[in-house]
């Protein structure tokens, strides 16, 4: 049996680590905690838990769709990556302004829009940066091992994201109304900075001619 070798695919741990770390840094699960807490405040515990998994599920679906069909979708619609980035930045800026001005009183089911889906699931978690990074990793897949590593990295980072959001709900129990207000203002400030950076990067890309 000396000539017998296992043909079962293995995981490229180096590629897995690159995918996981890159998406973790870009999607920044810990950094979404203030935004999630501010959007989930005032909701019953069951609804907050539902928002956590809904946001992560939406992010995962968006990432998977763009991993599989991203370039084809953008080419078909005639959309460039900088345009997608700028649109995501403007959407986040609108949400940031609402948080800063205290206009998010009933974030869930307002006008039949669930904020766990938009803007939390996308474009905050599954934003232009994560989409582009995923498309780049998919473009370098050559073997089954590469495919498994990329898929495992994407799944792992979303599992970590769900854990972070799911248990950040516990923080709400420790915060009073004043604490929620403070977290909401901080979240608005951070989110506005992220939004402005997205728009600035998009404008720079257009000026450089890559858009």
Q: Is the pLDDT of residue 1 over 60?
A: no
pLDDT at 209: 76
Degrees to nearest 5, angle at CA 19 with 13 and 24: 125
Confidence of residue 117 (pLDDT cuts 50, 70, 90): confident
CB 108 within 8 A of CB 48: no
What ranges do the domains of the chain cover? 22-206
CB 22 within 8 A of CB 132: no
CB 48 within 8 A of CB 109: no
CB 149 within 8 A of CB 19: yes
Tokens of 11: 């995981």
DSSP annotation of 176 reads -
Q: Which residues pair with 114 in a beta bridge?
A: 108
pLDDT at 123: 81
Chain centroid, CA 181 distance in Å: 24
For the chain, the average pLDDT equals: 82
Q: Is the pLDDT of residue 95 over 90?
A: no
pLDDT at 106: 45
Degrees to nearest 5, angle at CA 94 with 88 and 100: 130
pLDDT, tens digit, 9 for 90 and up, residues 177-207: 677 778 778 877 887 888 888 889 889 988 8
Tell me the average pLDDT across 67-93.
86
């Amino acid at each position: 049996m000396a000539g017998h070798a296992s043909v079962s695919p293995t995981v490229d741990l180096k590629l897995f680590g690159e995918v996981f770390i890159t998406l973790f840094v870009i999607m920044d699960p810990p950094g979404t905690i203030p935004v999630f807490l501010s959007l989930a405040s005032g909701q019953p515990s069951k609804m907050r838990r539902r928002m956590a998994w809904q946001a992560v599920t939406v992010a995962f679906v968006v990432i998977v769709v763009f991993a599989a069909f991203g370039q084809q979708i953008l080419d078909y619609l005639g959309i460039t990556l900088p345009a997608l980035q700028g649109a995501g930045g403007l959407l986040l800026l609108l949400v940031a302004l609402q948080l800063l001005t205290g206009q998010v009183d009933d974030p869930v089911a307002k006008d039949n829009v669930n904020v766990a889906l938009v803007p939390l699931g996308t474009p905050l978690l599954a934003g232009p940066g994560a989409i582009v990074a995923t498309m780049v990793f998919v473009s370098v897949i050559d073997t089954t091992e590469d495919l498994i590593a990329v898929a495992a990295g994407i799944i792992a980072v979303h599992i970590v994201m769900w854990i972070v959001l799911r248990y950040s709900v516990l923080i709400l129990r420790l915060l009073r109304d004043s604490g929620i207000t403070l977290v909401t203002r901080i979240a608005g400030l951070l989110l506005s900075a992220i939004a402005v950076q997205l728009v600035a990067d998009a404008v720079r890309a257009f000026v450089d001619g890559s858009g």
